[in-house]
Amino acid sequence: MEGREEQSKGKKPSDEELIARFQQGDIYAFDLIVKRYKQQLLNFVFRFLNNRELAEDVVQETFLRVYRKRHAYKQVAKFSTWIYTIAGNLSRTELRRRKRRKLFSLSDIGMEEKDYEIASDEFNPEKYTNTVMHEKIIQREINKLSSKFREVILLRDVQGLAYEEIAEIVNVPLGTVKSRVNRARLRLQEQLKKSL
């Protein structure tokens, strides 16, 4: 196949080339898309939902949507923007569903707190300025942010996307995204300062 030939030659096809091939019926191109995006999408969704199992389900569903709606993608936007938009929408839906479930489930009360519990002796406040912060603490504090702030800070500082791309993914103006990222960073550093 064309994709295999190019890979064997050492050429790395762009995302847009892969989706174009997939739209023409090259299933191998879809496999390459999955391999390229599965980890970064899982990273984003997992940090957004703070639940590994749910995150993997959401990423699976994202690829299924890509498979089903492959002809809906137009090359006016970057492929990464498109796939992150799908993943972001599904994650937000999942988050809302979880909140609704929590409202009706008494057994869930207090569970969130338990998930975040971290042994305090692992951390030394003096090391804060040396940027030694444990992943779990950061994750805990990220999850304390509102979903709006959490989404943009993850896309910007964890996924490393451009502000313009984030604006398209979350469907808000560029200025709003920049402002949200700034506020999210300030809030997060404030929370980390208190927790350490």
Partner 1 sequence: MQKSRDYAEWYSRYIDDELSAEEKQAFLKYLDENPQEKAIVQRLQSLQQNLAQLPPTDTSEGFETVLRTRIQIEKKIGYGAIHTFFQRWRMPFLGFATALVVFLVFSGLKGIRWDGMPTDETAVNHASMQNSLSLPASNINYTLDQFIASPSYSTDAASIHYQPAEDETMNKNQGVVVDSTGKIKQETTKTIPENLQLSY
Q: Please give the residue ranges that form the binding site for partner 1 (CB under 8 A).
A: 31, 34-35, 38-40, 42-43, 46-47, 52, 55-56, 59-60, 63-64, 67-68, 128-129, 131, 133, 135, 138-139, 153, 157-158, 160, 178-179, 181-182, 185-186, 188-189, 192-193
Nearest-angstrom CA–CA distance, 84 and 170: 9
Name the residue nearer to partner 1 (CB basis): 108 or 164.
164
**Residue 120 CB, nearest approach to partner 1 (Å):** 19
The H or E element containing residue 150 is helix 147-153
**Residue 167 CB, nearest approach to partner 1 (Å):** 14
Name the residue nearer to partner 1 (CB basis): 38 or 148.
38
Nearest-angstrom CA–CA distance, 100 and 48: 17
**Residue 107 CB, nearest approach to partner 1 (Å):** 26
Name the residue nearer to partner 1 (CB basis): 95 or 154.
154
**Residue 178 CB, nearest approach to partner 1 (Å):** 7
CA 5 from centre of chain:
32
Tokens of 190: 């404030």
Name the residue nearer to partner 1 (CB basis): 18 or 55.
55
CA distances to 21, 68, 76, 79, 149 from 72, in Å: 14, 9, 11, 11, 29
**Residue 88 CB, nearest approach to partner 1 (Å):** 17
Nearest-angstrom CA–CA distance, 142 and 29: 35
Specify whether the CB–CB gap between 22 and 70 falls below 8 A. yes
